[in-house]
Amino acid sequence: MRWDEEKIRIGFPPYGNYLILSLPLSVGRPVDHPMWFDSKGGDYTVRLGYRLLCSEIEGFNGASTSIHMLSIWRKLWSLRIHRKINMFAWRMINGCLPTRAALIQRRLNVDSGCTFCDEGLKTDFHIFRNCPFAKAVWIATEWGFRDIAGHFSSAIDLLKDLLQQMGKNELEEIICVPWSLWKARNCFDF
């Protein structure tokens, strides 16, 4: 009994072909099951898939998995908040929110104005800081607008700073503010 070399060459990366073909086939023929090549145990995880994709992207600088970001991710995922808020914060930090500016960049035909004030392009920074509606919400919080949003140039920097500087309990409350702003806009838009 021999390996089907054609299937091996089609189904696996070149660096794995030699290794697979060098394995002897079992006479007892145990049941086959898929194995993830880049895993010690052979099991696929989203984390492994993400790392593999990031390593293959040309020019990737590892910002999402750098030592600096590792503490931010640990803190974010350890918060006792609903997972959808965690995912929202993760998307915000990675610049993956489907804002109108992002949709326009992806060549979708959408109105660029803000839902509430119709001023400028609806970027994440406008949604969470510059819009008069967002400013009013921040002013109404116990943290105040100036303390939270004063010296940042992007919503990503704002959230990263909050995750680094604030304690866990305070963060669990304050991270709900951008989430609430996002939900309010989506309710109004849709």
> Could you read off the pLDDT of 149-182 as tens digits, one per residue?
556 677 777 777 777 778 888 889 888 999 999 9
Task: Give residue 85's pLDDT.
Answer: 95
Query: Do 171 and 85 belong to one domain?
Result: yes
Any bridge partners for residue 113, and if so which? Answer: 121
The closest of 133, 136, 142, 138 to 184, measured between CA atoms, is 133
Report pLDDT for 181.
94
Q: Is 109 inside a domain boundary?
A: yes
Q: Tell me, yes or no, whether 94 and 158 share the same domain.
A: yes
- Give, in degrees to the nearest 5, the angle at Cα 172 between 171 and 177: 85
13 and 86 assigned to the same domain:
no
- Give pLDDT, residue 164: 79
pLDDT of residue 115 exceeding 90: no
- pLDDT of amino acid 59: 47
Residue 100 has pLDDT above 60, yes or no: yes
In a domain, 1, yes or no: yes
Domain annotation covers residue 163: yes
Rounded Cα distance, 69 and 159, in Å: 12
Q: Cα dihedral sign for 70, 75, 80, 85?
A: negative
Amino acid 79: pLDDT: 92
Residue 47 counted as domain residue: no
User: φ, ψ for residue 149 (rounded to 5)?
Assistant: -110, 5
Q: Are residues 13 and 88 in the same domain?
A: no
Q: What is the pLDDT of residue 86?
A: 92
Name which of 161, 185, 187, 186 is nearest 174 in CA terms: 161
Label residue 87 by pLDDT band (50, 70, 90). Answer: very high
Q: Does 42 map to a domain?
A: no
Q: How far apart are the C-alpha atoms of 140 and 105, rounded to whole Å? A: 33
Query: Do 102 and 10 share a structural domain?
Result: no
- Same domain assignment for residues 19 and 91: no
Indicate if 86 and 26 belong to the same structural domain: no
Task: Tell me which residue has tokens 């794995």.
Answer: 16
Domain match, 98 and 175 both: yes
Confidence of residue 56 (pLDDT cuts 50, 70, 90): low
Q: Which of 80-89, 104-113, 166-175 is modeled with the greatest confidence? A: 80-89
Number of compact structural domains in the chain: 2
Q: Within a domain: residue 137?
A: yes
- Tell whether 15 and 101 lie within a shared domain: no
- Statement to judge: residues 7 and 95 lie in one domain: no
pLDDT at residue 138, as a whole number: 87
pLDDT at site 57? 61
Rounded CA Rg of the chain: 23
Q: Mean pLDDT over all residues of the chain? A: 81
Mean pLDDT, to the nearest integer, of 54-68?
Answer: 58
Beta strands in 117-171 (DSSP E): none
Q: Which long-range contacts (CB under 8 A, 24 or more apart) does 187-190 make?
A: 188/115, 188/116, 189/115
Assigned domain for 122 exists: yes
What mean pLDDT comes out for the span 75-93?
91
The pLDDT of residue 145: 64
Residue range of the domain that includes 147: 79-189
> Are 22 and 88 found together in one domain?
no
Q: Examine residue 51 and state whether it is found in any structural domain, yes or no.
A: no
- Are residue 86 and residue 164 in the same domain, yes or no? yes
